[in-house]
Structure formats: C-alpha cells, structure tokens
Amino acid sequence: MKVIKEHIKTGSFKQFYLLYGSEEYLKKLYRDKLKNAILKEENDINYSYFEGKDVDPRKVTEAAQTLPFFSDKRLIVIENSGLFKSQSELSELLADTPESSIVLFVENEIDKRSKLFKLVRDRGTVSEMNGLDEQNLKLFVLSLLEQEGKKMTEASIIYFLDKTGTDMLNICNEVEKIIGYTFGRELILPADIDAVVTTQITGKIFLMIDAIGSKQPNKALALYYDLLSVREKPMSILFLITRHFNILLQAKDLQALGFNAASISEKISIPPFAVNKYLGQAKNFTVKKLKDALEFGIDIEEQVKTGRLVEKIGVELFIVTFSKK
C-alpha cells in the first residue's frame, strides 16, 4: 500500500496494478484513489470497467489498445474476474499494451503461478490487502470517530471490535450507527455499543466457546438460542463451532512448536488481530479435549444427516457435553 500511496503522490504510475485479498474496504479505497489520481476530472471519457467471471479478454484488450482522448492516460478496471485463478489468454493479449493505458485488477483470490500474475508482477505493482492488525484497527475506529467529533476509550474500542469483527466495511457501518445514536454527546460508552451495535455471528461463536471453556452451559446455550432466533440454521452453527475448535487446535499446536503470532496468522488464515485471542481461549482446553470436540462434531453431523438426531438437539448436545464440569 505504501508503494501505491507513493505513486499517487508523485503521479508516476505503473502500467499494471493488482489489488487482492479479503479486505473489501481497502481494495475499494485504493481502487478509487488510483482512479481519481489517474483520470482526475476525466472519469468517463478514458475509463473502461469490466466485472465478473464472464469478462471477455478480447474486449479488455480492445479497451487497453484504445488511445486516451485528450488525456495522457486511459484506465481499465477489471473486478472479480477470476482470471488469475484460471488459464487465460489475457496475459498474451496485454503484453503489448501501450504505455498510455493502465490496467487495474481487483480480485479476491489469485494463483501466483498464473501467467497473468507474473505479467502484473513483472511490469506493475501487486498489493495484498487483508485485515489490519489490532493496533491499526483501533486507529481506524478512532479516525472514523474523530471525523465526527466523537471519542471512545481504548477498552471500549476493544469491546466494540469484539462485537463487529475485523471487516472494515462492517466497522464503518456500525460506527455510523453509533454516531447517530449518540447525537449531541462526545464520549461513547459501552452501554451505547450494546444498544445499537450488531454482534456478528463469529463474535457470538467466540463468546459461546468462551462459555463452553469456562464451564457455563447455560450461557453457551443462551447464545445458541440467540442465533436461532435470528434464523441461523443449527447445522451452520455447528459448522462454525467445529471450525472454531479446529482453529484453536491448530493455534495451540503451532504455538507449542514455537511459531510466533504472525506465522500462526498466516498458516491458519486468521487475522493478526485475533491470534492472541484464539491462543488465550485455547488455554481452556487440552489438545485431547479439542480433538474430542472435532470428532464429536463429525458424529453429530452424521447422525443428523442419517435422520437419527434432530439438528437443533444435536447442537445442544454438543454444547452441553463440552461445557459440563
């Protein structure tokens, strides 16, 4: 991202850009920043946009080969095309793109072995945009609040993030809600957060596992019933619970092998912000208990699918079994 900021600041752009990763907010932010910096006031005349899996490589090439009209640059943006995950002729077609054209790709997933990736890497700039770490997420929330003359203590920000999760678009939406709720007041309190912020399902699963680990079956069941009340399916909840236990097991194993938080984050694909929380929670369970939970989850799923167990009761059975003293 620092490289892209420098390109925008100096007005010296590469011919190809690839923004990829899980953080939609950052991808959209830098897509728009690049677009505004490259095209300035001529957004439509020299701008072409393609989206989706059915992008025609030849139409993209045709746009890239078109010289800009009364401008130095033409911009072509391609989003969520999947072209970096499949064999495509686009890398060959774009090889002789004129210097006046800039091609910007915005993707969720890519294959670094693809010819298209190698073209962009060798002749342009590649930027992976995933979730921010805890410190930068807190600064992000603070910046959103400061723009509206609001304040929140660090403890409240951490509590807020526990409810919203790490998705920056969701954070923006929840900050907007809480700003409206606290109109006329500067300091935002935990009670305000409880009043209007929607706890994401992953947050409730985390709280549920906390309750299971601390042997509080009633609290764990109450969280389960809350999820059912908003029409979450029992088997979807079971999937998230067992996925969570699997993350705890992997994190515990990696920590025992001497891996640091950054390496654990990369290896099991969880945000850096969340690693210490998972490791802290994993202390409530032995390795055997985590493995037992995973096996029990598989057994519950098999019984439900064969009609020997009602799915709602199956999840209750799982929660009660692993939260009893």
Rg (C-alpha) for the chain, rounded Å, is: 24
Q: Is the pLDDT of residue 169 over 80?
A: yes
Cα separations (Å) of 136 from 21, 126, 324?
A: 17, 21, 38
Do residues 226 and 204 lie in contact, with contact meaning Cβ atoms separated by under 8 Å? yes
Report the pLDDT averaged over residues 115-137: 90
Report the pLDDT averaged over residues 308-322: 95
Do residues 50 and 79 lie in contact, with contact meaning Cβ atoms separated by under 8 Å? yes
Q: Is the pLDDT of residue 43 over 70?
A: no
Termini Cα distance of the chain: 49
When the pLDDT of each residue in the chain is averaged and rounded to a whole number, the result is: 92
Q: Considering the chain, what percentage of its residues have pLDDT values greater than 90? A: 76
Report the pLDDT averaged over residues 24-37: 94
Quick one: pLDDT at residue 238? Answer: 94
Report residue 310: phi and psi, to 5°.
Answer: -75, 135
Token pair for 125 = 């700039």
- Beta strand residue intervals within the chain, DSSP E: 16-20, 47-51, 74-79, 101-107, 124-128
Report the pLDDT averaged over residues 62-66: 95
Q: Is the pLDDT of residue 42 over 70?
A: no
Question: Which of 153, 158, 108 shows the shortest CA–CA distance to 137?
Answer: 158
Question: Which of 248, 234, 257, 252 shows the shortest CA–CA distance to 294?
Answer: 248
Report the pLDDT averaged over residues 57-64: 94
DSSP label at residue 56: -
Q: Give me the DSSP letters along 220-259.
A: HHHHHHHHHHTT--HHHHHHHHHHHHHHHHHHHHHHHTT-
Token pair for 83 = 């072209």
Quick one: pLDDT at residue 86? Answer: 80
Q: Which amino acid is at 93?
A: L
88-113 pLDDT, tens digit each: 889 999 999 999 999 999 999 899 99
Report the pLDDT averaged over residues 143-163: 93
